Structure 1
Amino acid sequence: EIYIMGEPLSKSPLDIKRRIGVVSEKQYLYKDMTAWEYLNFFADLYGVKNKEKRIDELLSAVNLIDVKDRKLGAFSRGMQQKLGFTRALLHDPDLLLLDEPVSGLDPTGIKQIRDLIEEENKKGRTVFISSHLLSEVEKLCSKVAIINKGKLLAEDSMDNLRRKLTDFVQIEVELTEVSKDILDTLRSFDFIKEIHQEKNVLTLKVTTDKDHRADISKAIAQKGGVVLGIKTLGISLEEAFITITQKNISLLAAS
């Protein structure tokens, strides 16, 4: 049985679907319609009140108001994606289901859609995003689920996932200058597994048995180095995905 917003879908499928807005990765548009005609068509289907005002507000939000009278056949993929998002919001749904919502968008378009998603979520609307762009998911979502080959492997907040998965942390150290003596000393520590250098910034992969920042700072100072800043970096969602899927594959292979 499928439950949506606490209600079984089989009980009243039409009523539940009226409370959902969907954006698919590929937009299937009526290319002979203009943008305004397209949204007006769906507004009539949903029985949207004050539809003219609602349509203009949404088109303005995604910077399409100036092309509202243009045929959809002349729209770029990014414009089509933004139009699909406005169509999903037309009837003020309780739940938004978004499949690759920023696919095909330029940086400006990505920010517009991201801002809209955040704004809708602040209004109390639930937003469910399916995406391979994990950096975008990490920026937008308060909770993530990792699926591999149809199997749900993890579901939690990013902070909890990091705590569960991290056998190491990355520590970023900014110095006035990085000398060979400092690098050799840091490489001699067993708890430091990797060192990456970008000018005067070192990124250290460190074990999590204790907080090693004081040891690192002391060692650098003993070699005449000056630490301008030191901070711990969390793993990204991409790293979490790789870690979880690899662990799952190893377990399957062992069984």
Structure 2
Amino acid sequence: GVEFRQAGAELRRYVGLVSHAPLLYDHLTAWENLHFFAGMYDLEQPTGRIETVLQAVDLWARRNDYVRTYSRGMQQRLAIARAILHDPPILLLDEPDSGLDQKSLQMLQSLMQYLGDKRRAILFSTHNLDRALTWADSVAMLVQGRMNHHTATSLFDDPAKIHQLHVATGVEP
């Protein structure tokens, strides 16, 4: 194992994070935020990559606007852009769909599919079981903060297995 406190900068290169709070600098523009984080990830010549991720989350036209002027959904999209900026092999997404409109949800689903196809490990939390079943290969159910059950999403194609899961976990699918 590696001690995170000692190897934090090195480990950050491997993980992209979207947390419950956007964790952005509201006194900076979207471009400035991503340029700052590109420096933290030691990205060389980040200009092209910043443009790519801003276009991917449909914020290119607003790249020079201060983050404080962004809606909650726009801030969430920028947080997603920050998480994928350095193309990490692992993404940790805490309710990445929070605050997103329908168009942005479709963008997020497409992005997660694309990253999954690139063999990125994506762990995300959501309260929306339908979304989890659509977007994920497997689901883990938490009950009172503990993992109660883990299964492939294909299980949910069989009503009898759904009933077994409900009985085992107490979670209504």
Q: Does residue 246 of structure 1 match 2:170? A: yes
Q: 1:75 aligns with which of 63, 70, 73?
A: 70
Q: Which amino acid aligns with 2:71?
A: S
Q: Secondary structure at the match of 2:170?
A: helix
CA contact (8 A) 1:161 1:240 kept: no
Cα distance 1:241–1:66, how it changes in 2: closer, same or farther (>3 A)?
Answer: farther
- Taking the aligned partners of 2:45 and 2:30, their CA distance within structure 1 comes to 17
- Taking the aligned partners of 1:240 and 1:147, their CA distance within structure 2 comes to 16
Q: 1:112 aligns with which of 107, 112, 122?
A: 107
1:191 alignment counterpart: none
2:152 alignment counterpart: 157
CA RMSD in angstroms comes to 2.2
Q: Does residue 148 of structure 1 match 2:143? A: yes
* Post-superposition offset of 1:241: 6.6
Q: 2:90 aligns with which of 84, 91, 95?
A: 95
Can you give the 5+ residue segments of structure 2 that lack an aligned partner in the other structure? none
TM-score (norm 1): 0.61
1:177 alignment counterpart: none
Q: Does residue 10 of structure 1 match 2:3? A: yes
Q: 1:21 aligns with which of 16, 21, 24?
A: 16
2:160 alignment counterpart: 166
Of Structure 1 and Structure 2, the greater helix share is in 2
Cα distance 1:32–1:130, how it changes in 2: closer, same or farther (>3 A)?
Answer: same
1:126 alignment counterpart: 121
Can you give the 5+ residue segments of structure 1 that lack an aligned partner in the other structure? 1-7, 168-234, 248-255
Of Structure 1 and Structure 2, the greater strand share is in 1
Q: Secondary structure at the match of 1:144?
A: strand
* Post-superposition offset of 1:243: 4.0
* Post-superposition offset of 1:50: 3.0
Q: Which amino acid aligns with 1:153?
A: N
1:252 alignment counterpart: none
CA contact (8 A) 1:88 1:96 kept: yes
TM-score (norm 2): 0.88
Cα distance 1:149–1:94, how it changes in 2: closer, same or farther (>3 A)?
Answer: same
Q: Which amino acid aligns with 2:85?
A: L
How many matched pairs?
169
- Taking the aligned partners of 1:44 and 1:37, their CA distance within structure 2 comes to 11
CA contact (8 A) 2:149 2:169 kept: no
CA contact (8 A) 1:48 1:90 kept: no
1:39 alignment counterpart: 34
* Post-superposition offset of 1:57: 0.6
Cα distance 1:153–1:61, how it changes in 2: closer, same or farther (>3 A)?
Answer: same
Larger mean CA deviation between 30-39 and 17-26 belongs to: 17-26
Structure 1 runs (4+) deviating above 3 angstroms are 160-163, 239-244
* Post-superposition offset of 1:18: 2.1
- Taking the aligned partners of 1:112 and 1:16, their CA distance within structure 2 comes to 27
- Taking the aligned partners of 2:115 and 2:22, their CA distance within structure 1 comes to 21
2:45 alignment counterpart: 50
- Taking the aligned partners of 1:49 and 1:128, their CA distance within structure 2 comes to 27
